[in-house]
Amino acid sequence: MTLFRKKCLYCKKKIEKGKEIFRDVKTPGFIGTKEKAFCCEEHTESYEKEVEEHLKNSKSGGSCCG
Ligand SMILES: [Zn+2]
């Protein structure tokens, strides 16, 4: 038994044990993919889109923020 619960990478909510959805996703600053936990399918897709956007923006823009 462990009290440690995974958090959804997208909404940061704790996920009930056994309800985690694992997905290999791209991570900014990391080459390749990593297995991450999400609370629902929607959030795997939302996260992937967000990362795509982030990667696009970081390529075209010079600064990291603003
Ligand atoms: Zn979520």
Q: Is the pLDDT of residue 57 over 90?
A: no
With a cut of 90, say whether residue 40 has pLDDT above it.
yes
Give percent of the chain above pLDDT 70.
83
Cα 38 to middle of ligand 1, angstroms: 5
Banded model confidence at residue 27, pLDDT cuts 50, 70, 90: confident
Q: Which amino acid is at 19?
A: K
- Give backbone dihedrals phi and psi of 58, rounded to 5 degrees, phi first: -70, -20
DSSP state, residue 7: B
Ligand 1 center from residue 1 Cα (angstroms): 23
